[in-house]
Structure formats: structure tokens, C-alpha cells
Amino acid sequence: MTRHQGRHFLQIPGPSPVPDRVLRAMDMPVIDHRSAEFAELGRAVLQGSQKVFKTAGPVIIFPSSGTGAWEACIVNTLSPGDKVLMVETGHFATLWRQMVARWGIEVDFLPGDWRHGASPGEVGAKLAQDTGHEIKAVMVVHNETSTGVTSRISDIRAAIDEAKHPALLLVDTISSLGSVDYRHDEWGVDVTVSCSQKGFMLPPGLGFNAISEKARAAGKTNKMPRSYWDWEEMLKPNAGGFFPYTPATNLLYGLREAIAMLLEEGLDAVFSRHQRLAAATRAAVKHWGLEVLCLEPAEYSPVLTAVLMPPGHDADQFRRIVLDNYNMSLGAGLSKLVGKVFRIGHLGECNELTLLGALSGVELGLSAAGVPHRAGGVAAAMAYLEGPVEANAPMHLKVVDI
């Protein structure tokens, strides 16, 4: 194993680097999770999470991965034998489909090419044909981490409404929340699924469900067995800032600090920063003469950029060279993209200098691996970043009480 000096560059699209400020916030003694002190912490993170999800409704926090939050969404809204409509946008949409099927739910899986997001038109057409309202939910991944493609959730909501269909809208924001503009209430989402280790800039270990009144009503009549994941069992003690079982106390300390950081910068400024860094990354990729996997500019991910390798060159071998020589981790291609793409994460605590360092590592790696490219991609990204910063970028940090 090669030993390197300096800090490791973690440029995968999650888990994202944990800011020092969040690490310090978690460096606390464990406290009594039945105490008044804990109740204050619990209320702060539950109410603060609502601001990030942009909802006035409940946000439920589980000690879990995002996969656990997926399961909580399913078992609280659906019943065995139900039918759902899902869209094949990539590896994680496929995994969610597999989980749904294990619960005895029929999945109508709209095929996709992994280079586009969910088509609102196709979703609307399927729902219009479902005159008997057999489809109980539409399930979409907002930001497909395996491909660097986002789906237009507001347009999908509009398609559901135009079809006058009562299906629930269930959305995975595991890699987008806190990094990409997202509006749970305004877009009429019924369950938003997320987790701690992406835009929240925390270690893995927290799963989230933001839920609408319609989703909660479905949970009171559906027939799926559940215990650990039961929303109602969480909501009762949550009203006082508590949890029904031992919570991940120190992660909640970190969550409180992470929410404060997001709100101090301002969510619109956070989203603008991610868009700016993503555009600079694409400028570098274009200059190198490589191809971005996402084919629709309106669906470019602000969180990551998936890059296709030229024919005859293996993405995993390239990633190994970058790691061994320059101490930087890039995201692997997943499932049918294994060896074909590498993924550059630019989310969470990432700024212009961090990004330029990462892109320098990629360009050095392209040369070391003998991948045909045109030198100067980093300079192209720098030229883009030298342009005017968006008007909503922060000039000064605000002090925010969550």
C-alpha cells in the first residue's frame, strides 16, 4: 500500500468529506437520551431538517443507512399485492425496484438508457392508461448517483396531476438533498427519502423520511408488517424531541451543526455553488475530449459528473492509478457501467480550490494511465470559475438558530 503525505482527496459522490466543524460537534460525551438536554437536541434536528426538506410536515430520522429509509418508505405506504410505477434511471433505481419486489409488490418498471432522467411524459401516459387506479405510487430517484443524471420532480408531479391520478409520489433524494434544489411541499411529494452522508456532510448512519398527510393516512390503512420502521411509533415520542429507541446521539450533534452550516450559507447559495462547481467540472471534461454520461443538459447533476472512458481503456484501472499516485478516490462505475465510467463527486464541503485540486488529480491520472486526452482541462475549469459568481452566492455568513 502506497503511503502519502497530505490529506486524502475523497471525490466519490458520497460519503462526502465531513467538515471539521461537524467533526468537532460530534466530539461530545454521550448523554442520557431521556433527558431534557437531549430533548432540546432532538427538537432542534427535527425542526431543522424540515427547513432542508422544505416541508412543514414531519421529518422522521432513523438510525439507519439510506437503504433503511427506502424500506421505511415502502412498509409505511404500500401493501403486498399493490402495484407501483418506477423508472429505470440507473443502478440505484434498480436496487430500489428489487427491494419493492421483495415485499410482494408488483413493479411496472419503465425502461431507461441510464443517460436520461425520468420522463414526465412517459409517467403521465402510463397513469392516464391506468383508469382503474391500480398504480398506488410513482417512485423516482431524484439524483441517480450511478449516472450523474437528475430527474425533474416538479414536472413529474405535474404529469401526475394532469392525469388526475391519486398515486403517491415517493422520491429518493439520497444523493441530492442539501446539494440540489428540492421542495417537498411545493412539489407535492408524499415521501422524500434521504440519508446523512451526502449533502448533510455527516458520516453514514442516519436515514430520513419526510412525509405528507396523504402518505401518513396511507400508513394508517396499509397492510405491510413493520416494527422498527413504523412512522407512528416514531412520531409519538418525536413530539417531545425523543425517540422510541436509542438514537444515534452523536450523529444528531453533527446533524445540528450541519444544518446550521447549510442555513448560514443559505440553501439557494448552496445550490448555486454546486451548480457552479459541476459546470466547471464539465468544462474540464469537454476540454479533455472525454464524454459526460448524462445526455440532457437540463438533467446534469450538480452533485457528481460521470465520465465515459474512451474505448479500450478501463475506468477501474484508471481509478487505481489515481489513488496510488495522487491519493484521490474517484467513484466507480456500477452495475452495467463497471469499468466504463468514473465519477467525480463535487458535493458537500467543496469549493473552487478543492475542485481544482481534484481535477488536477484527474488530469495527472489521465496522463499516467495513457488515456488519450487534450491537456488543459484544469485551465478550462479555472477559466469558467473566473467568471462572475451568481448573485445569490453568499458574501457573509448569517448566524442562524435552528
> Residue 11 carries which side chain, given as an amino acid letter?
Q
The answer to whether the bond into 15 is cis (omega within 30° of 0) is: yes
Residue 343 assigned to a binding site: yes
How does DSSP assign 135-193, residue by residue?
EEEEEEESEETTTTEE--HHHHHHHHHHTT---EEEEE-TTTTTTS---TTTTT-SEEE
Alpha-carbon span 75 to 394, nearest angstrom: 41
Query: In a 3-state reduction of DSSP, which class is residue 37?
Result: helix
- Cβ atoms 256, 48 nearer than 8 A: yes
Give CA separation, 283 vs 35, 378, 385, in Å: 52, 9, 10
Residue 343: what residue type?
R
Please tell me the number of Cα atoms within 13 Å of 308 on its side-chain side. Answer: 14
Instruction: Give residues with Cβ within 8 angstroms of 74, minimum separation 6.
Output: 99, 100, 103, 105, 224
* Whether 198 contacts 178, CB under 8 Å: yes
Tell me the C-alpha to C-alpha distance, in Å, between residue 367 and each of 74, 246, 281, 306, 340.
46, 50, 18, 19, 18
Give which of 175, 195, 171 is closest to 183, Cα–Cα: 171
Q: Point out the annotated binding site.
A: 343
Q: Point out the annotated binding site for substrate.
A: 343
